[in-house]
Structure 1
Amino acid sequence: MAFLRRVWRLFRMFWVLLAGIAITLLVLPFRRVGWLNDASVMSIATWWHRRMLGAMGIAVRVEGEIKPRAGIWISNHISWLDILVIGSQAPVHFVSKAEVRRWPVIGFLAAQTGTLFIQRGANQTDQIVTAMQKKLTEGYSVLFFPEGTTGHGHYLRRFHGRLFDAALALHAPIVPVAIRYEHEPQPHPVVPYIDQQSLLHNLWGVLALPRLAVTVYGGQPIAVEGVERRRLAERSRDVIRAALELPAPALPPTELKSAKRNKPAQD
């Protein structure tokens, strides 16, 4: 049964992917001559994300409010599916690792929808912040994953603060989003894209699931006025941790041990 489920879903995904390529190639000339703006392209991308999730048998439920609004969006990071899940709910430009740009077909489609690619360890933060600010001034939203990498989902890594500079410079709000792949007990045993898995290996496991339910929590915007970068990152992490109902400090085991070693002695 699992094998037939995988084959059927792969068949459906193929046609959605083919539709994405065809639409992209059709709209490219119109974008180049200015007959189609980014807002229209992002609306098409939102539609495509929903179709792809449907083809994979993934159902998304929203708690709170998720609506198009300019600002810096942030989210916890569990899987490559996070982009499909969030992208299906609102038009948003993503900040992604540069490796995604080299993925066949997917990298091309991501680039055409305005994804900003960052090369880890290449000191590109300032360039990405500038690109994020440009999108913000044009009235768009940009999402990045402040943990910097994926995790199991039952903890949160410390949030890196540098990309918050784009919000601070333009006084743009931080829009927190939290993702939970439903399973009891947590974490989900299949979805997390971790431990040097290949994309195909992870996809093969996800497609075998009878059903995958995802809950997306949309939080209220966080004001940035008068808050320094490090504190803003910590506050944003607290909001997402609370939405996921994770007990504080909800750090991964390695960071938790380090935090305990560095904790000042109590008098």
Structure 2
Amino acid sequence: MALLVSEITVLFRRRRTWAMLAALAAVPLLIAVAVRLSSDDESGGGGPPFLSSITENGLFVAITALTVAIPLFLPLTVGVVAGDTIAGEASLGTLRYLLVAPAGRIRLLVVKYIGAAAFCLVATLVVVLVGVAIGAALFPIGPVTLLSGDTVGVGGYALRCLLLTAYVTVSLCGLSAIGLFISTLTTVPVGAMAATSVLAVVAQIVGALPQLAWLHPWLFSQYWLDFAGLLTEPLSLASFGDNALLQLGYVAVFGALAYGRFATKDILS
């Protein structure tokens, strides 16, 4: 437990972590300010239809910001954190000291992964909470009309925001496991960060190619944006379950690969 507390404390004390969280917080801020300024412009300006919902209810900022952040911004920051887990310690020369204590290699991997997963949760919460706050500050708020056409109060919307946060966090767990594995392959953290982030982009590109439809169900990004069931009445958790099962498979496979690599690796730094 002490090792886990230390890992999370160090992670969230880094300026880099706070800089990435600030960049994520800027996503809903920029969306809300842009929509506010365009709504004040008598010339209109057009734009995607869903942006008009924000002017009617500021609570839509959080959902819009999540939809924008999921394909690129969240995977990019998660790739940085996950890619740095082992390679970062090796580059600093602190990895062997961590293993001198009776921590054990598998325990260290688990702690590093939990730290990366904790960042996934915090990063998603930042986007949602900042979206709700700036939406309430700049626009009127009230009952929310769901995709099914039903209306829920602020309490019902808060429940769905929590479920969306959990959904996105789970979605990023597979990418975190991939980053952990890549991080065991090198002592250069920048390389592991870049490789993890690039894989997130490549997976989405492959997912958009109909010629590779047979591969789509196996991509870790397959269900990233498939959370419409959480915005209907009644709630549908089918995609949540499918997503969780897929991410669990990636965690199991790449967690095992990471341990297989790390257990036999000579630690020289």
Q: TM-score, normalised by structure 1?
A: 0.30
Return the structure number with greater helix share. Answer: 2
Structure number with bigger Rg: 2
